A and B are shown apart, each in its own frame.
Chain A
Amino acid sequence: MTTTTFTDVYMSPRLLAPGGTAADLATHEQRYGPLSYGDPDGLLRTVAESGLTGRGGAAFPTYRKLVAVADASRRTGRAAVVVANGAEGEPASRKDKTLLRLSPHLVLDGLQLAAQAVGAGEAHLAVEDGASYLESALSQRNDPLPVRVVRLPKRFLSGQASALAQYVSGNAPLPRHQRPPVRERGVHKAPTLVQNVETLAHLALVARYGADWFRTAGTPTQPGSTLCTLHVPDREVRVVEAPFGLPLNRLLPLQGMSAVLVGGYHGTWIPAADAAQRTLNAADLGAGVLAALPANRCGVAETARVLRYLALQSAGQCGPCLNGLPRIASAFQTLATPGSQGNTRQDVARWSGLVEGRGACHHPDGTVRLVRSALTTFASELDAHARGLCTATDPTPLLPIPNEAH
C-alpha cells in the first residue's frame, strides 16, 4: 500500500500571485517586470514557438487563432475586436475568477498584447463577477487600447464564443450559427478574437520570458502549465497551477474514490483506478475541473443532477438540444432511482446520438460526452439500480449546481 503525498505546490506558480494576496499594479510590475511591446510579428512567432493553447476548454493553438483573426481583419479591411473571456459559466470552475482576483494585471497585459497582435481597434473584458474591481485595476494602468468591462448574466453558455460576441454587440447572449465563425464575423460583425483570460495571462508571460521559458513546464507536446479547480470531498474547493503531464494522483487523493470527473460538466467520468494511471492532459481537461467522487456517493445521481442543470441551461434555440436534453435528463433521473429501468438506457443512448453534432454550439456535444462516460463508468451501479439497489450510503449532493431546486 502506498500513501499518496498530497501537496498544494506542484510548481513555482507562474500565474497566481503568491500567498493568495491580490497583486496591485506596483506588485505586479515588481514581480514580472514592465510590459514592453515588441513588433506584432515577433510576438506571433514567439507564441507559435511556445505551443500555447487556449485554456477555455478547447485547447486550440493560440497562435493559429491570432493569425486567423489578423488575416480576417486584413482581408475585410475591418479592425478586429478582442474579447477577454472571463465568463466561466461552468459552475464547478473557479480558476478564471481566482486568476482575475489575484493577478488582474497579468490578464490585462495579455489582453493588450493580443489586441496589438491582431491589430484590434476595440477591447472588452467579459466577466460575471468582480467587474468593479477590474475597472479599478484598469484605471491604474496606462494602456494603449482602452478596455471596456462587460458584465455577463450568470448562465452556463454566456462564455460560448458566439454568445459572447452577441452580448458584447448589445444582443441577447445566445449562441449563433457558426458560419461564418466569430473569428471572421463576431462583435459588430468585425473579425473577433475571443480568448480565455488564463490564456491571455500565459500570453503576457510568453511575451516577457519567451517560448523556451514557457516550455520548461509541461511536456514537449503539451507545453506549459494550467490552472485547475480541484473538488475533493470535505475540503475547500481549490485552484492550483500544475504542469501538463502531472499524474492526476498528485492532484487528487484517489484512495476511497470511485470515479473522477475530468473537465467539468461537459467532461468525462473516469473510474478512479483509470485516473490513477492518467496525467494532466489538455485533450480532456476542458477548463481544468477535476472532481473526485467518493465510493460512498452515487455517480448516477450526481450525473442526473448535472444533466438536469445542463438541460435547463440549453438556450432552447436548436430543436435537437431543446427536445433531447430534457428527455435525457429525465431518463437519468429514472436511472438514478433504484427500480425497473425498462428501455431507459437504450432511450438515453438513442437520444444522445440524435443531439450530438446537431446544434449551433457544443452544448449538446458536451452533454452527450458526460452522458456516455457516466453510462460506462457507472455501468455496475446502473445494474445495481436496475435490481432495486443503490450502493451509495451518503445521499448528500456533491457537485455544485446553481439555484438547484430540491
Chain B
Amino acid sequence: MDQQQIDIDWTACQGHGLCAELLPDHITLDEWGYPLLDGAPIPPRTLKRARRAASDCPVLALKLSPAAAPR
C-alpha cells in the first residue's frame, strides 16, 4: 500500500487540538493551538491512530493522503 501522510485543510481547522493528543509523535501545537506536522509519512504501526485522528477531528480538517501528493 502507498505511504500515507497527514494533510490539514487549513480553512477548516479551528485548533481543537485532538490530533495532537492522538498523534503526539507526529503533531504538536503551535503557540495559537494549531497543529504543527513533522512532515514524515505515517509508519504502519501508527496508521490506525492516524485514521482515528482523522475521523475524530470535530471539523474533519485532518485527512490522510498518499505521501508526497502533488499540490
Residues of A participating in the B interface, judged by any CB pair closer than 8 Å: 174-179, 181, 317-321, 323-324, 354, 358-360
Contact = CB atoms under 8 A, between A and B. Distances in A.
A94 B33 CA distance: 39
B12 A177 contact: yes
A181 B11 contact: no
B65 A179 contact: yes
A179 B10 contact: no
A319 B71 contact: no
B10 A176 contact: no
Given A319-B32, A323-B32, A354-B31, A181 B71 contact: yes
Contacts of B30: 320, 354
28 contacts: A176-B11, A177-B10, A177-B12, A179-B7, A179-B63, A179-B65, A179-B71, A317-B11, A318-B10, A318-B11, A318-B13, A319-B10, A319-B13, A319-B15, A319-B32, A319-B34, A320-B10, A320-B30, A320-B34, A321-B10, A323-B32, A323-B34, A324-B32, A354-B30, A354-B31, A359-B10, A360-B9, A360-B10
Nearest to A364: B10
The 5 closest A-B pairs by CB, nearest first: A318-B10, A177-B9, A319-B34, A317-B11, A323-B32
B15 to A, nearest CB: 5
B69 interface: yes
Question: What interface size band does chain B fall in?
Answer: 10 to 19
Contacts of A175: 11
A317 B65 contact: no
A356 B59 CA distance: 22
A354 B30 CA distance: 7
Contacts of B55: none
A344 B45 CA distance: 42
Contacts of A354: 30-32, 36
